[in-house]
Chains A and B, each alone.
Chain A
C-alpha cells in the first residue's frame, strides 16, 4: 500500500467513524410549540406568561429561582443571610457570572434591577412584589444588602418570579427585542408571528445544558396544534390546548402525555358588592348549586383537581374544603328562599376566551338554572374583560383562572374586582406577612383558606391542569407549572 493510498484509506475510515459518531450522538435541538406568542421579551415589564415561558431561567435568571416541583432554590445569589428581625437580607452573589454581551454580573446590576422595578416610572406588572423594599445597597461587587420596611416571609419566593430577574444597565434599552441575560441560552432570532430561536451559551456559569438550540413555535389554533404534533412538526407542545385529543396521544407510542398541576385556581368570581351577591346566603346557595366534577369532566375532559378554596392543592399548606360547598341543589334552593329569592333571580356570566371559561360557563349556567338562577352568558375578549369586568366591576359572575402563585392575598384588597371586604381577613394577611416561622405560616394560611371558603366569597371550581404532549424521547420536561416556564436546561433527548 502506497503512502497516498494509505492516506485515502485512513481518511475514508475517519469519515466513516465520524458519520457513525454523529449518528450515535443524541439529538441536541428541539422544537417546542406554545399557544401564545410573547409580545416582547422583557419579563420585567409585562404580565404575558408567554414571555416567561421563553426566557425564564433560559435567558434571564434571578437571585432565586423556582424548580419544577415549586421549591425555591439559589439562583444568581449563592447564599444569603437574614437579620434577626427579618428585615435585612444580605445576598452573596455567584462569582464569574457574565451577561451574554460579555459584561460582568455584579452587585451593581442587582441594585439596578431592583431599583428599576420599584422606581416611580417602573412598568413592572408585579410592582407589588417589591413594594416592601426600603433600600438596596452594594456592599462589595459580590455582596448586596436589601433592607425591607417590614419583615416579609415571602421575600425569597417573590424574588424567584420572572418579574424579578437580574438585568444589566448596558443592555436595558433593547431588552424587549434583544434580551441579554445571564442564562444558559442566548437569544438568537425572532421571526415575529412564527418562532423564536435560542442557542446554548458556551460561557454559562453553571452546568452546560444538553440542548444546543431550541426553537419556540407559536400555534394558537387547537386543531392546528393537534395536526402539528401528529405530523411530528414539533417535538413538544407546552400546555396543549385540546384536552379532548389527549387520549389519542396517550395511545400512540410515538408520544408521551404529561399531566401536572398549575398555580391556576379556576373560580366562579362573584361580584360581592352587587345585589343579590352581597348576601352571604345567596353566595352559599351558589356554591351548593355547582357540581364541580361535572364541570371538570365536561369542560376539561376530566383533567383538573376540585378545590374548595382559593389555594393550590399541591401546596403543603392546602386544606381540602370541598365538603364545605358540596353539590346539593335542594339546599341551594332552600338557601335562596331563605334569602328572599324563592323563584331565583337573573344575573350575567361574563366568559373570557379560554376553553375552561367558555365550556365551563355553559355547564355552570345550566346548573344554576336548575336552582332558578338565570345566568345570561356574555362572551368577551381579554381586553374587554379587563376593562369592563376587572376594572369596571360591571358583572355578576365570571369564570377566571387565577394563575399567580400564592395569590390568596388578593382577598385582602377590597378594591379587587370581586370586592370582598373583610377586616378579619385583612388582619390575618398582615399577621401572615410579618410571620417567618414556617409552622405558624402554615397555620395562618389554613385559617385564611377557611375564612374565604366559609364566607363563600367566590365559587371555587378546580385547579387548572397543565397538559403537555411530547415525543417519547424527550426527557426533563416540567410536569407541573409552579410558574410559567419551559426550563430548557433540564431537557434532553433519550435516543
Chain B
C-alpha cells in the first residue's frame, strides 16, 4: 500500500479546527503558566510559612509526576470530588499549572538575582515592599527570563498534544479522527507534524518580537 496524500485535503476542515483548538489551548495555558508562574514565585519567596510549605508540596507534585497523569487526575479524578471540568478547561488548567511551576522556578531565581540597589532605590523613594516588588523588581526579573520562559512555551505547545487523551479535539486528536476514517496514519501524522511545526514557527517569531521589544528596557 503506497502513500497517498491526496486524501489529506478532504480533511482540511477537521485539521483546521484541530489547529484552532491547539492554538487556543496553547494561548490560554501559556497565559496561565506565565501569570501563574509570577504569582507562584512571589508566594514561594515571600508567602507566609503556612502558605509556602503546602505550595512546595504542590510544586513538587507538578514537577515530579507525569503531565499525562495530571491531566487524567484533573479531568477524570476531580469529578469524584464534585469538580466536573469541561475537557478544554481541564486541559488548560493541567498544562497551565504544570508549566506555571516551571516558570515559577525561573522567576524565583531571577527575582533573587535583581540587583539589591533596585529595591533600595524604590524603597528610598517611599514605595512599600509590595509596591517595590510589583513595580520595580518583578518587571525586571520577568524580562530577564523571557528567553527561557519562551522555551517553556514551545514545550507547552508540543505537550498540548497530550490533552487529546481527555478528548479535546486539538490537532493530534483531529489527525487521529481522520486516520480512523481513512486508515492513513502516515499521511495524517505527517500533516499534523507539519502543522505543529508552522505553529511553532509563528510562536518563535512572536517570542523574538517580544525579546526585541524589551531589549532596550533591560
Does B bind A? no
What residues of chain B have their CB less than 8 Å away from a CB belonging to chain A? none
Residues of A at the B interface (CB closer than 8 Å) are none
